[in-house]
Structures are given as C-alpha cells and as structure tokens.
C-alpha cells in the first residue's frame, strides 16, 4: 500500500466516523463526547505507564536492548531488526492466563482468598517478569491482581499485538477479566521486551525479580518449523531454569501454569512451601530457587 493509499483510506475512515456522529441526537452526541474524552484520558494513562524495562528493574543490562516504548513514542514501526532474530519455539497463542485468573477469582469467592493471599504475598510490591507473555493482556492483569510494582512482558513473537492490546485494544478488559465482587486493582508500570526468555533473563541482576510463565508448554517448545532438536530445546529450558533461579528474589517466587519450566526434579528450582499449602490448585505451581547448600 502506497503512502497516498494510506492517506485516502484514513480520510474515508474519518468521513465515516464524522457521518456516524452527525446522525446522533444531541444528547447522544454529548454522551459520545464524554465517552471519547474518558477514553482519551485512559489511553494517555496507559501510554504514560508504558516504560523501559530498566525503569522497572534497576541494574538491568540494556546493551542492544530494543525499547519498544521508545519506538512507540517516536515512530511506530514493525521493523525492529535483530530483536526478533533467533526466536525459540513456535508463534502459538494459548489461553492459560484465563485459567489462572479464574482459579484466583474462584478462591477469592469461595475460600475468602486464602490461597490467593498466599500467592499475592510473594509478589506484592516486587517486579515480575512474564516469560512468553503472548499477544494478550492476561499476564498483566494477573500481575495487577498480585499488586506487583511493575510488569515486564517478554515475548519474541507477538510483541506488536501485545503492545496494541495494552494500549489500544480490549477497551472492556477490566469488566471481562475481573469477576463481580473483586475490586479492580490499580494500574501498574509495564514494559514489553521483544526477546526470547533466555536472552532477557541474562540481562537481569541477581535476586531481583519474581517470575511467571503461563502456557509455554511442549507445543510451544516443539521447535520452530519442527527442526530444532529435542536436546537443543532441553538445553535451552535447563539454561532458562538456571537463570530463573539466579534472578529470583528470595522473598518472591516463580509462578507456573502449563509450562515446560520448573518441572525438572533435582535441577535449579524446587516447589515452595506455599505450594504444599495451596495443594497445587488448578495446576498453578509456585517454585523457589534451590539454595547452594540444598544441593550438597
């Protein structure tokens, strides 16, 4: 599509919107103006909270890091070069964040939040990293429920769709995501990183964050174009788990649901004490880093 075609398309869209507005009654026009103003303020707030990863995790190694928030503010573009090279696994959207959200909401309604509070206490007021965030807002909404200090979505495939969802899409996301009777939590700073999990984990300082990974299952990790060998994937997962153990805040944890991470016995991660208290409800697992003396 040429630049002239884009101009003509946008002009037609503007004319259509104006015609729709002109056909409204005076009271409907007034309501529309108020609604648009509220929407503009919400979008302005979302853009304001779209920050760089180092604003959420001080000490982060930012060498050659593509900062999508800067690209968005200066000149939105799909050409982000080497940031999307060397991707691991498949571009496959999962819906497991919804399962985690439902489990948390059910516990709030039926058990007075006993299990939910145990999880929230691990992550509250700490930054959280979402490995394989996907193209929807589910991970961020879970982070808001946990009252984290900031959320970093690490997504090598769907980062552009995720950015759209965060800023422009899903205008009714709060009503859809949170159940009746649960207070919608406050907004939080967020960042999007167009890198694979291991590349970004290696940027993080020791003992600095909480981590979650939801839906990064065997299908996602089956290899790009089915060519990656099993041993390569296994080595990648092992390296990621080693890095997760290194970067985990000892007071926080690693939240997992339907993920290849965390399930290797005798590795770098162990089920937390909170895990046994929760009885692994709805297949949500909490891991801690194995301390060095635990391997002796």
Per-residue pLDDT of the chain (296 residues; tens, 9 = 90+): 555 665 677 677 767 777 887 888 888 878 777 766 666 666 666 778 889 999 999 999 999 888 777 766 665 444 433 334 445 554 445 567 777 887 787 777 787 888 888 889 999 999 999 998 888 888 998 999 899 999 999 998 888 888 888 887 554 455 555 555 566 678 899 999 999 999 999 999 999 999 999 887 766 666 554 555 677 788 888 899 999 999 999 999 999 887 788 766 556 777 766 554 454 456 778 888 877 554 44
Q: How many helices (H) and strands (E) does the chain have?
A: 12, 7
The CA distance from 249 to 212, in Å, is: 13
pTM of the model: 0.77
Q: Which residues contact 103 (CB under 8 A, 6 or more apart)?
A: 281, 282, 284
Report the relative pairing of strands 285-289 and 254-257 from DSSP bridges.
antiparallel
Residue count of the chain: 296
| 290 class by beta-carbon count within 10 Å (0-12 exposed, 13-18 middle, 19+ buried) | middle
Contact 211, 254 (CB under 8 A): yes
Look up residue 268 and give its two tokens.
Answer: 């770098």
Does domain 55-295 sit in CATH 3.40.50.150?
Answer: yes
Helix, coil or strand: residue 37: helix
């Amino acid at each position: 599509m040429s630049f002239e075609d884009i101009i003509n398309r946008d002009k037609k869209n503007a004319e259509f919107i104006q015609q729709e507005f002109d056909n409204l009654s005076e009271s409907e026009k007034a309501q529309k103006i108020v609604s648009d103003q509220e929407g503009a303020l919400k979008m302005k707030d979302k853009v304001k909270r779209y920050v760089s990863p180092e604003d959420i995790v001080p000490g982060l190694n930012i060498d050659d890091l593509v900062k999508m928030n800067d690209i968005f503010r200066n000149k939105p573009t799909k050409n982000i070069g080497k940031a999307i090279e060397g991707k691991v696994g498949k571009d496959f959207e999962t819906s497991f964040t919804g399962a985690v959200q439902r489990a948390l909401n059910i516990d709030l309604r039926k058990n007075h939040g006993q299990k939910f509070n145990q999880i929230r206490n691990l992550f509250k007021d700490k930054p959280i990293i979402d490995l394989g965030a996907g193209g929807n807002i589910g991970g961020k909404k879970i982070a808001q429920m946990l009252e984290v200090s900031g959320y970093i979505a690490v997504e090598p495939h769907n980062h552009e769709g995720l950015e759209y969802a965060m800023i422009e899409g899903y205008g009714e996301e709060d009503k859809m995501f949170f159940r009746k009777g649960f207070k919608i939590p406050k907004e939080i700073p967020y960042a999007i990183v167009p890198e694979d999990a291991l590349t970004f984990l290696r940027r993080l300082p020791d003992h600095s964050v909480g981590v979650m990974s939801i839906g990064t299952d065997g299908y996602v990790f089956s290899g790009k174009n089915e060519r990656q060998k099993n041993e390569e994937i296994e080595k990648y997962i092992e390296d990621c788990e080693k890095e997760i153990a290194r970067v985990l805040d000892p007071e926080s944890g690693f939240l997992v649901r339907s993920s290849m991470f965390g399930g290797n016995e005798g590795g770098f991660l162990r089920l937390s004490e909170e895990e046994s208290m929760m009885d692994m409800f709805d297949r949500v697992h909490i891991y801690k880093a194995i301390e060095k003396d635990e391997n002796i």
